[in-house]
Amino acid sequence: NQVDRLRRLAHEEDLVDRHLAQKAVVRGLAHEIKNPLGGLRGAAQLLERKLSESEREYTRIIIREADRLQSLVDRLAEPTHPYLPVQVNIHQVLEHVRSLILAEVGESFVLRRDYDPSIPEFAGDPDQLVQAVLNLVRNAVQAPSRLIVLRSRIERQFTIGQRRHKLVLRTEVEDDGPGVPEALRDTLFYPMVTGHAAGTGLGLSIAQDIARRHGGLIEYTSRPARTIFTLFLPLRHEYDPTG
Ligand SMILES: Nc1ncnc2c1ncn2[C@@H]1O[C@H](COP(=O)(O)OP(=O)(O)O)[C@@H](O)[C@H]1O
Ligand SMILES: [Mg+2]
């Protein structure tokens, strides 16, 4: 109804305002991540020489992921950098995330897919989208949870922020973990807000930034045994990195 709609709009505007303030912080942190990342990659390359061919699979993952992170960090540090729009297939993005997660944590939980195969391709940055969804799935793994569902759906005539879109892609990461801690609920997307001792609190902030660049938004609902983070993306044919 109308009241709910207005409340949602006000809430989203609030998210956008906060988000702009946080961008500067994220940019600073992106810069800090670059140096250790270079060291990590170099060390993996040295290590690779000492390993047998079958063991090199692991160092290759480190190097490939370091490279992906490097290009991501470059773009976070330089948000006006123009990049080439590419046709993105969301299910390729989700399958990439799935294989990364399985390589990272093994099969200690169930990762189920619930895809709508009719979803068309759209213009975007697949590396960034992998990163955004990966951050959501990692959080679900760490919740901790035993069942994670990756879901894709289409919404018609859907509003993101103030803009109404004909077609919106809805990508959900659902988990059966304990839920988002009460104390974090209002600040969850802020950088450096974390519920884990070893957390950086950057995952959701970066994911939200990536969503924004695609003209989209991440929202969530959470209660014990059912937490859903939803990435809304307009299905656009032209990609405008300024949002
Ligand atoms: N699926 C989830 N279930 C429960 N809590 C979550 C979930 N996703 C995020 N959170 C909470 O949000 C916090 C912030 O997440 P994030 O920005 O990715 O930083 P980090 O993972 O480094 O802590 C997490 O520490 C956790 O407390
Ligand atoms: Mg995280």
- Give pLDDT tens digits for 87-126: 999 999 999 999 999 988 887 889 999 999 999 999 999 9
Beta bridge partners of 226: 223
Position with higher pLDDT, 179 vs 67: 179
Q: Which of 129, 130, 91, 133 is nearest to 113 (CA)?
A: 91
Asked if the model's pLDDT at residue 241 lies above 60, the reply is no
Query: By percentage, how much of the chain surpasses pLDDT 90?
Result: 55
pLDDT of residue 191: 81
Q: In this predicted model, what pLDDT tens digit does every residue of 77-88 receive, in sequence order?
A: 665 445 567 999
Instruction: State residue 235's pLDDT score.
Output: 94
Classify strands 122-124 and 163-175 as parallel, antiparallel or unpaired.
unpaired
Which residue is associated with the tokens 């059966």?
A: 176
Q: What is the pLDDT of residue 81?
A: 47
172 Cα to the center of ligand 2, angstroms: 16
Tokens of 14: 């609030």
What is the distance in A from the centroid of ligand 1 to the CA of 125? 24
3-state secondary structure of 123: strand
Residue whose CA is closest, atom 18 of ligand 1? 203
Query: From the CA of 75, how far away is ligand 2's center (Å)?
Result: 19
- Ligand 1 centroid–CA 21 distance in Å is 20
The average confidence (pLDDT) of the chain is: 87
pLDDT surpassing 70 at residue 21: no
pLDDT for the residue numbered 239: 61
Domains of the chain: 2-234 (3.30.565.10)
pLDDT class for 18, splitting at 50, 70, 90? low
pLDDT at 179: 98
Residue ranges in 51-115 assigned as alpha helix (H): 56-77, 90-105
**Which residue owns the Cα nearest ligand 1 atom 26?**
195
Chain centre to alpha carbon of residue 181: 20
- Ligand 1: residue of 194, 208, 219, 222 to mutate (most ligand atoms within 8 A of CB) is 194
Is 63 or 19 the better-scoring residue by pLDDT?
A: 63
The pLDDT of 130-158, averaged and rounded, is 96
In the structure, ligand 2 is a single-atom ion and the residues with CB under 5 Å from it are 139, 203
Whose tokens are 């950057």? That residue is: 202
Distant-in-sequence, close-in-space partners of 93: CB < 8 Å, separation ≥ 6 = 126, 129, 130, 133
> Average pLDDT of 159-186?
95
Q: What is the pLDDT of residues 7-16, one digit of tens each?
A: 776 666 666 6
- Report how far residue 199's alpha carbon sits from residue 93's, in angstroms, rounded to the nearest whole number: 24
Written as six digits, the tokens of 24 are: 């500067």
Mean pLDDT (whole number) for 25-36: 76
Pocket flag, ligand 1, residue 38 (CB < 6 Å):
no
Neighbours of 4 (CB within 10 A): 8
CB contact at 8 A, 120 and 218:
no
Is 162's pLDDT higher than 90?
Answer: no
pLDDT digits (tens, 9 = 90+) for 147-156: 999 999 999 9
Query: Which residues have a Cβ under 8 Å from the Cβ of 235 and sit 6 or more positions away?
Result: 119, 120, 122, 154, 165, 166, 167, 168, 169
